[in-house]
A and B are shown apart, each in its own frame.
Chain A
């Protein structure tokens, strides 16, 4: 016996292969029959890429984002793998809609193919379930907040809502068990169910055969090879589109790690759920259950009833019209949602901020310190560049400005009544302070009670009359005072001007500049105004913001500056973040070439 005959005798593979490949295609192969095959292809692709991702993914609130970051930014081709998985999921949603439309338009849902249709509807729901659960797994801000909204909507389900939500979330709050559950659903339960239903779907399909599109233009033919070729070309086209999207967008987006205390105004669901999101805006308080559950439920019920409706005289036309209307309505709502966000400047700011944080956390994760065991969320919480502007806006911007805004680019309600702190203690900033034209503007003392004080008077009267030699000396003095801060941005010029700075230090307490008349500098002078030793250094700023009314600074003459440290308005940690941000002290990644 030949080996292949032996194999066939033992396994019966020839009959099976014949059954699979020589299904009759009435009217011959056609392009319109390819959609089901492209969906199977997408599912197989998702299983392959998903299993590969599984090998590197770790579902917990301290490791989910971190492991996805590692896949995306550190592992060989990780960005491409994740991109394939991400965009194929989107392609699948589109293909599901196309397949459904083709089946309904061609009347393939009618008797005796009810079970074929219903198993298909169920597969559609399962695939959407894969999207919903997969969206959370990277545990980034986007997935986290979208899932919070989605599970809160689940909670309004009549009778069992809150319990259902608690079961899905895995407890009273979002965390480890939300991820373990979503992951088990995403990688185990739902794909398993999909495999079962695909088998059933194809079994029902084979049992009743393909529904030919009339008129049949050609004689019947076998599935192999003409239809298989068309299917293969269609799958290749789908793959090409997906790969194009992956390469163009450099893979799938990964936002900043989820932070339950950090709001995310840019929260939007994946684009194919946008119509539902928009739909909910039209249901005033308490009627949400209609928009989120009752109406979508009725639409699904109507969809499932199509095989029966199709038996009536005008039933088929009704079904086709109904589907077109639902599709057009969803498209319209999606467009409305996008248009509203485009017209909303707050949304643009929120999206930009989200992108900035997403980029920043990657820089920090790649810094020599890396990601601590507490997770990447601590990287952003302890980053002056990220937290400084927020803390400034919250605590400082009611009086101060930073480059004319509140630190985050917004404008507070009240006009500035204290100095603009961008570049505080830099040469440039000090040169402005010592400029007779600028010292009394709101940028410096203009909004404070020192507007008519000694310092302003000194600048406007004495400095205004400086001759060229004194100006030179003033320049040295500024360089010396600015060098006290030890600013990172001035490290090079401070080193370059070392000799000049030594002269400036002498001038500071010397008879011409005579700062020591009112300020203490390195042990010399009278403590009327703030001390100038270490002016603008980290220690000086922490002490100053902590207690501006200390005799070392303004003493009793302090003008409205809250005693942030002394009165515990902010914590020492927050104070340090504000100071480091003002001083420009944060991690800067080295240029790409030296990494």
Chain B
């Protein structure tokens, strides 16, 4: 390989050229980078669909004895460009209360989002992932449970004396406060 001749040292009056090269170089990179970043950040402005009350079950389907029963929540699911009506978007445990009302608990564990199970033998809820346990009203049972708060209760309404409607939402996992996502 033939040796390259060394370049002459830049003269001081070349400052303008150096600055211009740096600025132009930066501009050529900033525009594609910024346009890419904008699309990359787009999910930050996406809000979850729903939040309105949805019909979950008939009152007749909820056991009279107060035992919780799990029901899927059907709603319109929006997945980016797809909009699908009447598909399961989550699930709730419904329980009849002595005052005739219905309690609804989101099945997602407030710790990390696994679905809790109702354990008939122990009459409580248990999370199969990190062993949090909850009483029937959603309270944390075992103080060692990793869950930072009780199961998330949801607003319910019994319409016409027969239909249970639930304002279904999910809440941020892993924090003490119940913050809707």
Instruction: State the A residues within 8 Å of B (CB).
Output: 9, 12, 61-62, 145, 148-149, 152-153, 155-156, 162-163, 166-167, 169-173, 175-177, 259-267, 277, 280-281, 283-286, 288-289, 346-347, 350, 374, 394-395, 398, 410, 412-413, 562-563, 567-570
Residues from chain B with Cβ under 8 Å of A412 in the complex: 120
Interface string of B36-59 (1 = CB under 8 A from A): 000011011011100000000110
Residues from chain B with Cβ under 8 Å of A163 in the complex: 44
A-B CB contact pairs (8 Å), 16 listed: A61-B79, A152-B173, A156-B173, A173-B48, A173-B79, A176-B80, A260-B88, A264-B114, A265-B114, A280-B146, A281-B131, A284-B144, A350-B128, A413-B120, A567-B58, A569-B57
Partner of A263, one of B80, B81, B117: B117
Partner of B128, one of A173, A259, A267, A284: A267
Asked if B69 lies at the interface with its beta carbon under 8 angstroms from chain A, I say yes
- Separation in Å of the B148 CB from the closest CB of chain A? 4
Partner of A569, one of B61, B145, B147: B61
What is the predominant secondary structure among interface residues of chain A facing chain B?
loop
Is B44 within 8 A of A285, CB to CB? no
The segment from B15-23, B24-32, B95-103, B105-113 that touches chain A is: B105-113
Is B88 within 8 A of A261, CB to CB? yes
Q: How many B residues face the partner with a CB closer than 8 A?
A: 57
- What's the Cα separation between A264 and B127 when bound, in Å? 11
Q: List 5 tightest A-B contacts by C-beta distance, closest first.
A: A261-B88, A263-B115, A175-B79, A265-B128, A285-B148
Asked if B174 lies at the interface with its beta carbon under 8 angstroms from chain A, I say yes
Is A145 within 8 A of B88, CB to CB? no
- Separation in Å of the B158 CB from the closest CB of chain A? 14
A280: nearest chain-B partner, CB-CB:
B130
Partner of B69, one of A152, A260, A284, A394: A394
Is B72 within 8 A of A286, CB to CB? no
Is B79 within 8 A of A259, CB to CB? no
Residues from chain A with Cβ under 8 Å of B111 in the complex: 285, 288
Partner of B72, one of A169, A172, A261: A261
Residues from chain B with Cβ under 8 Å of A261 in the complex: 72-73, 88-91
Is B89 within 8 A of A267, CB to CB? no
Residues from chain B with Cβ under 8 Å of A288 in the complex: 111, 146, 148, 174
- What's the Cα separation between A413 and B123 when bound, in Å? 9
- Separation in Å of the A17 CB from the closest CB of chain B? 15
Is B47 within 8 A of A149, CB to CB? no
- What's the Cα separation between A568 and B59 when bound, in Å? 9
Is A155 within 8 A of B173, CB to CB? yes
B116: nearest chain-A partner, CB-CB:
A263
Interface string of B70-95 (1 = CB under 8 A from A): 10110000111110100011110000
B127: nearest chain-A partner, CB-CB:
A265
- What's the Cα separation between A265 and B130 when bound, in Å? 11
- What's the Cα separation between A98 and B67 when bound, in Å? 53
Residues from chain A with Cβ under 8 Å of B176 in the complex: 285-286
Asked if B34 lies at the interface with its beta carbon under 8 angstroms from chain A, I say no
Is A285 within 8 A of B88, CB to CB? no
Partner of A155, one of B41, B117, B120, B172: B172
